Amino acid sequence: MPQGVTKAGPNEWEIPVGYVPGMRVPGRFFLSDTLEAILEPGAIQQLANVATLPGIIRYSLGMPDLHWGYGFPIGGVAAFSLDEGVISPGGVGFDINCGVRLLPHPSRGVTSKNPGISSNPCTMPYRPV
């Protein structure tokens, strides 16, 4: 395991705030001993980078399938504040698209800052990446 990453419990590891500059929350990921042996160091770096995003809440998380992605690591999960956070449907990258689309939901007065995003998902054009 890279220096600075600590074991937080059985099959649970923590990346402390400060592992990379600007981290707002710690990173947590979950791996068995078998999966630990094949963990890509770049995935830990990416998980720490996710922890620097505005409005992130509590942890940047990595599931047991954690591996190098493009932006977020594959297996990376993060929740963001409605008021201060970001929405990133392409957090893991656009190379395979994964059928990801961003659809606004008319809840709690959320509005788009992008005039190209409709409040009605039925009228949104498909935009392949």
**Token digits for 30?**
């979950």
Contacts of 116 (CB under 8 A, 6+ apart): none
Contacts of 7 (CB under 8 A, 6+ apart): 1, 13, 14
Total tally of structural domains belonging to the chain: 1
| Geometric angle at alpha carbon 107, from 105 and 111, rounded to 5° | 70
Residue 45 within a domain = yes
Residue 122 within a domain = no
Residue 99 within a domain = no
Q: What is the mean pLDDT of each run of 10 residues along the chain (129 residues)?
A: 91 96 96 90 92 93 87 86 74 58 59 55 48
Q: What is the pLDDT of residue 86?
A: 74
Q: What is the pLDDT of residue 56?
A: 93
Q: What is the pLDDT of residue 129?
A: 44
Residue 105 within a domain = no
Residue 101 within a domain = no
Structural domain containing residue 57: 6-94
**79-110 pLDDT, tens digit each:** 888 788 776 666 765 555 555 556 666 655 55
pTM: 0.72
Which of 107, 110, 109, 104 is CA-nearest to residue 122? 104
User: Could you identify the residue written with the tokens 């990446």?
Assistant: 129
Q: What is the pLDDT of residue 9?
A: 93
Residue 20 within a domain = yes
SS3 (DSSP) at 116: coil
Q: What is the pLDDT of residue 84?
A: 82
What count of other Cβ atoms lies within 10 Å of the Cβ of residue 44? 24
Residue 123 within a domain = no
Distance CA 38, CA 42 (A): 12
